[in-house]
Amino acid sequence: MAILGVIPARGGSKGIPHKNIALVGGKPLIAWRIESARACSRITRVIVTTDDPVIAAAARDFGAEVPFMRPAELATDTASGTAPILHALEWVIHHEGYQPDYVVTLQPTSPLCTTQDLDAALNLAISRNAEAVISVSPVSDHPYWMKRIGEQGELIDFAPGQSVTRRQDLPPVYALNGAIYITRRDVLLAKKSLYGDQTLAYVMPPERSLDIDTPFDLRLADFLLKDAR
């Protein structure tokens, strides 16, 4: 079975300049995703889609392919997250005749996701012939206990009518953690989405679900990954 890993890594990043190649744990952030993907027993090919020559060079240094440069219109703040993945898939189909069974989208901002997570999520997808599998993690702040603030500064229940007062009575709730998106090729091409009509969940623990968005997240990842070198 052919499984294509795609790592989207555009050059523009307003919060953290050149975030995708910022040093984390002694190597570029993107290197952690490349290495975990290349070590995955199920993933047969790893490519990086980027518009930035510096990121492209770093990706190649760590063993990923960069068979094309991403078009500028797919590297803007307003471009959808799915567009560069779909472009990468269509590129390898049209230019190489390469038709993977599944496409695995691997955000470089999830460096704590392990090879074991990738293997387990792909085993789930393949064993169930799933249209899509997406990683989630349990939420730390339950929506039943969240509040809004009204026009007069008053607290308003975000989920009215829910009166659960003990944590152990709360129903389990999960949030997307951004680490793994597995989509069957035919679904991605037909729906132009990383989701299928039925998308399965792969549950990851919070300690491997850090999604780097701020300088603090970057410092935290650096601290956690220094021992992993």
Tokens of residue 46, six digits: 């790893």
Q: Which residues contact 228 (CB under 8 A, 6 or more apart)?
A: 25
Is the four-CA dihedral 12, 14, 19, 20 of positive or negative sign?
A: negative
Alpha-carbon Rg for the chain, nearest whole angstrom, is: 19
In this structure, the chain runs to a length of 229
Domains of the chain: residue spans and CATH: 3-138+173-228 (3.90.550.10)
Helix orientation angle between 215-225 and 29-39, rounded to the nearest 10 degrees: 50
Question: Residue with structure tokens 């091409």?
Answer: 189
Mean pLDDT of 100-115: 97
Distance CA(172)–CA(164), nearest Å, equals 13
Name the pTM for this structure: 0.90
Mean pLDDT of 120-124: 98
Distance CA(4)–CA(46), nearest Å, equals 6
* Residue 204 near residue 179 (C-beta atoms within 8 A): yes
Tokens of residue 103, six digits: 């496409």
Mean pLDDT of 37-54: 96
> Amino acid identity of 89?
L
Least confident segment among 39-43, 60-64, 142-146: 142-146
Q: What is the pLDDT of residue 184?
A: 98
